[in-house]
Chains A and B, each alone.
Chain A
Amino acid sequence: MSQDTQATAQADGFLVATGSDGRLLAGAIALLGIAVLIGGAILGLLLEGVRDFGGALAAFDSYLFRIVWFTLWQAVLSTVLSVVPAIVVARALSRHPTFPGRALILRLFALPLALPAIVAALGILALLGRAGLLAVPLSALSGGTWPGIYGLSGILVAHVFFNLPLATRLLLEALDTVPSDQWRLASQLGMRSLSTFRLIEWPAMRAALPGAAGLVFMLCVTSFTIVLTLGGGPAATTLEVAIYQALRFDFDPARAVTFTVLQVALTVLVMLVLARLGANTAVDANLPVTRRKFISPGYAERSLNAGIILLALAFVAGPIAATVVAGLSADFARLLTEPAVRQATTTSIVLAILSALLSVMVALSLAAARRAAAAKRSKPARVFEAVAGTGAGFVLVVPPIVIGAGWFILLRHTGAVFAVAPAMVVFVNAVMAMPFVIRAIRPAFDAAAERNDRLCAQLGISGWNRTRLIDWPALRGPIATGLAFAMALSLGDLGVIALFGSDAVQTLPYLLLARMGSYRTDDAAGLALLLGLLCLALIFLADRFGAKGAS
């Protein structure tokens, strides 16, 4: 080896060494950013709690207990109504791998998760509201005027709309883990439908049931938009909505502090239980692949299952179809030229892009730091690896509305409270999307690192060369998936903007809520269709990139 190459090799080697520290640094900065975001919120809550301790204590009244009770009650009901039918639907889908349009049905079942909650809420109102598409037949059926779906029943329908398909997909995944040999054996032993369920299907689903139910419960306890739009008045209010009302309508920050603390305590409790149940709290959008099952159900079972599948299909497709139908009746020519709509659309897209970029950067930094720490084998590195690895999960404990509330209280005297709206939306949504983005990126990142780390170290490929030649080609697919997914989440979010939004800073969901509030239903429906299509397009792109990355 010549002197010259030796020197460059040493310089590159130096880059390898510092490069790994750079990764740790990036991870530390990402974690610090998350800590500041959450810490600032906690600080705001603490300061207010200390300043007005009496006020915070006074919030413990019968109204508070009613809210906590309602929060839990609606979550329990939503979970039962989502998971129990999901068992039946998942089994029906699992037993008919060749059911006509099955792949399409599963794809449709992935839609609600991609749909912004406010769009779904509007779809449900368009279908079952007082002036909904089904109002006339429902009036005839109930023998009076259909009062429209609001309050607890509206919340439940919306939660089941979101979570029945989710639970179905989780249980179907569990059913697909049954080895095909067991199906063959069952068929050889001549097991009938009921014994197959008892001996094979139920044990497989039972294992996944606590996790699925826990996840649904968690989503329902922290559900904000649905309760805000469909819950009516103090009789149907959850903690999250109460926080929002205390801040935006009652101007009672001390009360909001109490609500927020309770909400966090509640979610931490649920998360702890979930962790014990071994639930997987980050949902991914993968479609389960079903293997051949060697089942030949009889005619009766076949029709029963077909009926169950069609019923579930109608339940999920109904609000989506209603969104489209109601949306198309809007006056798009006027809507799309309206300055407020254009402004909100631009704001939404810009904020979503920024938020998605930030989210991907944080996710990449954490993945890289975790990898670098794992290579170090020292004790502090081990701790850092664990934090960078599971740090993502922690953010689920703190709902966006809680972070928003803390910062709102902290900043409310500074006069900057509405000016920081864009930054709040970007930061909070970036952190909220992070668990999903990490799920999109980290497996590919780890696989690429596993394959390439030694080879790169050996050949002295590091820094920008490594990014350009090695990492970018392997990661651009997953990165695009993460970006699209984070953008969709940010576009549809109503949590933070509900607190920080104003006439000056409006996003599409905020504008939608305002139009709903002022009974401009056609406008709201049109905006919902627009927003829904935007998010679906992004999720579709995310799916495409993901599929490309996998091949």
Chain B
Amino acid sequence: MTVDPKTGTDVRLDNLHFSYASASMRFDAVFPAGAISAVMGASGSGKSTLLNLVAGFETPDSGRILIGNEDVTDLPPAARPVSMMFQENNLFAHLDVEKNVGLGCSPSLRLTDADRAAIAAALSRTGLTGKEGRLPRELSGGERQRVALARVLVRNRPVLLLDEPFGSLGPALRLDMLDLLREVQAERSLTVLFVTHQPEDARRIAEHIVFLAEGTVVAADRTKTFFGEGGPQEFKHYIGDEITNFARKRT
């Protein structure tokens, strides 16, 4: 598929049904091209399931997933124009940094000179130059997620799915990663679906918010609108609860 590097590719969920055990979910949503959309909602609202459906790890009962104008509903994960970063386990523990990134170029790790150059560039972009030979266990949590991001860069797919990838990082490190993510996103015009629990993360980097409750989209709008006076009531409740919880913990 061809991607306009300036505008990117949008992601559309068209009447997507998914059920597992007693949970039944139904998604209708558009994630605008070349922008970061935060996917928010309480635990169990279906955020991760939504990402897994787009990535191809879950198969919907009915409905379609469109990326750009292509129907990817029946494509296996590796054939979809998406990369995904998980909260952890983004790296193979026994392979060093360079090989972990290299798997983004070639699943058989047979790398050409051009691949090696791309890997070096991605590592330099993510601030990992000099750490090519390290194993994941010799890296900090933040560095590991940088390696995963470097692999996203060499894979060069237009859509990036992030399932709370910075959830286990400390506050300062998280802000660093958010900024790096925003820069990379802008350079490549990536369409990013970003699952997060932190309202301030969404406020910092997301242009749009899609808010889920009980397996369905209850609100979707610009971030400004969400946090403004006329923001959706459910969202206010959700972040209100968070703030009270926060306050309770402090006292």
**A→B interface (CB under 8 Å):** 1, 6, 9-10, 12-14, 16-17, 377, 451-452, 454-455, 457-462, 465, 469-470, 473-474
Contacts and interface: CB of A to CB of B under 8 A. Distances in A.
Contact of B156 (A1, A16, A465): A1
A462 B107 contact: yes
A473 B94 contact: yes
Interface string B81-123: 1011010011011110000000110011100000000000000
Interface string B141-160: 00000000000000111100
B23 interface: no
Contacts of A474: 93-94
Contacts of B78: 9, 12-13, 16, 457-460, 462
A9 B107 CA distance: 9
Given A454-B86, A458-B55, A465-B108, 8 more contacts: A10-B76, A454-B55, A455-B92, A457-B77, A458-B83, A459-B104, A469-B95, A469-B108
Nearest to A10: B79
Contacts of A457: 56-57, 76-78
Contact of B1 (A6, A13, A16): A6
Q: Which among A16, A460, A465 has the greatest number of chain B C-beta atoms within 10 A?
A: A460
B75 interface: yes
B20 interface: yes
A473 B56 CA distance: 27
A17 B1 contact: no
Nearest to A460: B78
Contact of B79 (A6, A451, A454, A465): A6
B28 to A, nearest CB: 24
B76 A459 contact: no
Interface in B158-190: 158
A12 B107 contact: yes
B3 interface: yes
19 contacts: A1-B158, A6-B1, A9-B79, A10-B75, A12-B76, A12-B107, A13-B79, A451-B89, A457-B76, A457-B77, A458-B83, A459-B78, A459-B107, A460-B77, A461-B103, A461-B107, A461-B108, A462-B78, A474-B94
B77 A452 contact: no
A13 B76 contact: yes
Contacts, number: 77
B77 A451 contact: no
Contacts of B103: 459, 461, 469
Given A454-B57, A474-B94, A17 B76 contact: yes
Interface string B1-44: 10100000000000000001000000000000000000000000
A452 B75 CA distance: 20
B104 to A, nearest CB: 7
Contacts of A458: 55, 77-78, 83-84
A550 to B, nearest CB: 13
Nearest to B94: A473
Interface residues of B, number: 30
Nearest to A462: B107
Contacts of A13: 75-79
Contacts of B109: 465, 469
Contacts of B79: 6, 9-10, 12-13, 460
B182 to A, nearest CB: 23
A1 B157 CA distance: 6
Contacts of A10: 75-76, 79
Contact of B93 (A14, A16, A451, A459): A451
B34 to A, nearest CB: 16
Contacts of B158: 1
B48 to A, nearest CB: 11
B193 to A, nearest CB: 14
B107 A460 contact: yes
A10 B93 CA distance: 26
Nearest to B58: A377
A17 B79 CA distance: 12
Nearest to A17: B76
A14 B94 contact: no
B230 to A, nearest CB: 39
Q: Which among B20, B76, B78, B92 has the greatest number of chain A C-beta atoms within 10 A?
A: B78
Nearest to A465: B108
A470 B3 CA distance: 32
Contacts of A473: 94
A460 B3 CA distance: 21
A22 to B, nearest CB: 15
Contacts of A452: 89, 92
A12 B106 CA distance: 11
A452 B93 CA distance: 10
Given A1-B1, A460-B107, A14 B20 contact: no
Contacts of B107: 12, 459-462, 465
Contacts of A465: 107-109
A289 to B, nearest CB: 22
B51 to A, nearest CB: 11
B57 A1 contact: no
Q: Which among A454, A470, A473 has the greatest number of chain B C-beta atoms within 10 A?
A: A454
A455 B94 contact: no
Contacts of A9: 78-79
Nearest to A375: B57
A26 B145 CA distance: 36
B20 A377 contact: yes
Contacts of A454: 55, 57, 77, 84, 86
B77 A16 contact: yes
A99 B7 CA distance: 72
Considering the complex of A and B, which 3 residue pairs feature the smallest CB-CB distances, nearest first?
A460-B78, A13-B76, A13-B79
A6 B76 CA distance: 12
Contacts of A12: 76, 78-79, 107
Contacts of B77: 13, 16, 454, 457-458, 460
Contacts of B104: 459
Contacts of B93: 451, 474
A551 to B, nearest CB: 11
Nearest to B155: A459
Contacts of B75: 10, 13
A374 to B, nearest CB: 13
Contacts of B92: 452, 455, 469-470
Nearest to B90: A455
B231 to A, nearest CB: 34
Q: Which among B55, B107, B109 has the greatest number of chain A C-beta atoms within 10 A?
A: B107
A474 B92 CA distance: 10
A2 B1 CA distance: 7
B122 to A, nearest CB: 15
Nearest to A468: B108
A14 B74 CA distance: 11
A455 B108 CA distance: 14
